[in-house]
Chain A
Amino acid sequence: MIFESCSEIRGYFSDYIDGACPAEAIHSVRYHLAHCGACTSELERYEALQTELQGLFRQQVPPDLALRLRVQMSQELHRNVFQRFLVRLENMFRPVLFPSVAGSLVALICIVLMLGAGTPQASNIPDVPFVTPPRIQVLPPVNLDAGAQPLVLVTYVNAQGRVTKYKIISGQETPGLMQRLDQMMYYSLFQPATSFGQPTSGQVVLSFRTITVRG
């Protein structure tokens, strides 16, 4: 490549200092520079300019701006209302999350321990029912002959297990039957009714039926 004038070669200086000059132009530029002091000075000015520009103070983001950028980025990423709500919720609960979980666990452990310690021991004493009805202990063998209908009566038993009175609810009330019933009740002995384990008066319903045995 042959250059006609200095102004023509100077048009390549910009590319030349960047190393972007075509290979054939580089040789021509170098040849010209070896013989032209004015173009050499001009190239030095280009290089001095490049040095000045590259040596310019590099701006750094101030710390407060860096923080603002981070906040802005975070807000931008959570523009969605629901996401923003979740983030706020998370931010609100995060400081109390560990203390509250730890507190709840400790409270739970304490409750379990207290309940374990307060559980009553199993008693060896057998359970006593609150109330028991009177029960027959001795019933004298008296032939009542109640007839075809069954005889049902309510018997009032005192705390000593003796019959104090009785009342026929169903069945015939003949004088003979009444006499035999009086005899039976007089000699009968009951286990008295109990209330909280203590003997007390009570009632018992007795039912008699005539049973005929063939043979």
Chain B
Amino acid sequence: MNTIRSIGVALDQTAPVVSDEAALVAELKAGSEEAFAYLLAIYQNPLFNLISHMMAEHGEAADVLQNVLIKILRGIRQFTGRSSLKTWIYRIAVHEASNHRRSWRRRLLHEPFSMDDEALHLKVQSSIYRSGRETPYSVYEKAECQAEVKRALADLAEPYRAVVVLREIEGLSYDEIAEVLGVAEGTVKSRLRRGREALKRKLAARLSRSI
């Protein structure tokens, strides 16, 4: 029970706190370029992270993020404020990532090989190596571990993956996840439970080692 809990997600999750969301939304609806620049500065990294984990193919995340931003720009006038701006934006991102992933699966038949996974692996390694005083071996081990967790997450069925990513990686509360996905809070709980179960089975060997 004495597990070490990571705090690596704290920084970006606190970013989308806007003191006066209504004023920001009004500015966005008025087409203020400064307001959109502010929105972009706040949400581009969390959205990119969310989409990257939602997508099986990392290289597609950039295209999806661009589509998401276009949809936000075009749809902001239809934003009624029934949900928070954050959950509205996340809803667009999750739907866009899901749609893109479905179409990507169809395209996958014609694209037998991609270097992006390997490139991401190297990128993760280099970022870990830069971050501390770790030995190359421990860096490699961490990168391997992260790659394994990512693969397990990518293999998860979509409804469960979305909930797990929103909860564990983006740190959304149950009611926020329910708003993003448009489902009941009970459904969020059950999907999260099943998703965690499935991941636990996939990563059983690794988890046993880490206890």
Contacts and interface: CB of A to CB of B under 8 A. Distances in A.
Interface of A: 11, 14-15, 18, 20, 40-41, 43-62, 65-66, 68-70, 72-74, 76-77
Given A44-B1, A53-B169, A58 B69 contact: no
B207 A56 contact: no
Given A11-B193, A57-B128, A20 B203 contact: no
A140 to B, nearest CB: 99
A49 B36 contact: no
Contacts of B149: 52-53, 56
Given A45-B207, A57-B124, A20 B36 contact: no
Contacts of A43: 1
Contacts of A52: 145, 149, 203, 206-207, 210
Contacts of B164: 53
A48 B6 CA distance: 10
A11 to B, nearest CB: 7
Contacts of A65: 48, 62, 65
B150 A56 contact: yes
Contacts, number: 126
B192 interface: yes
Interface in B88-143: 124, 127-128
B169 A56 contact: yes
Interface residues of A: mostly helix, strand, loop or mixed?
A: helix
Given A44-B1, A54-B168, A61-B45, A74 B208 contact: no
B138 to A, nearest CB: 14
Contacts of B33: 73-74, 77
Contacts of B196: 14, 46, 49
Interface of B: 1, 3-6, 8-9, 12, 31, 33, 36-37, 40, 44-45, 48-49, 52-53, 58, 61-62, 65-66, 69-70, 73-74, 124, 127-128, 145-146, 149-150, 153, 164, 167-169, 174, 189, 192-193, 196-197, 199-200, 203-204, 206-208, 210-211
Contacts of B204: 45
B69 A53 contact: no
Given A14-B193, A15-B189, A58-B12, A45 B169 contact: no
25 contacts: A11-B193, A14-B196, A14-B197, A15-B193, A41-B211, A43-B1, A44-B211, A49-B207, A51-B3, A51-B4, A52-B203, A54-B168, A58-B49, A59-B52, A61-B45, A61-B48, A62-B62, A65-B48, A68-B66, A69-B40, A72-B66, A73-B73, A76-B70, A77-B31, A77-B33
A40 B2 CA distance: 11
Given A44-B1, A45-B204, A70-B40, 8 more contacts: A18-B192, A45-B211, A49-B203, A53-B149, A53-B164, A57-B127, A57-B128, A73-B73
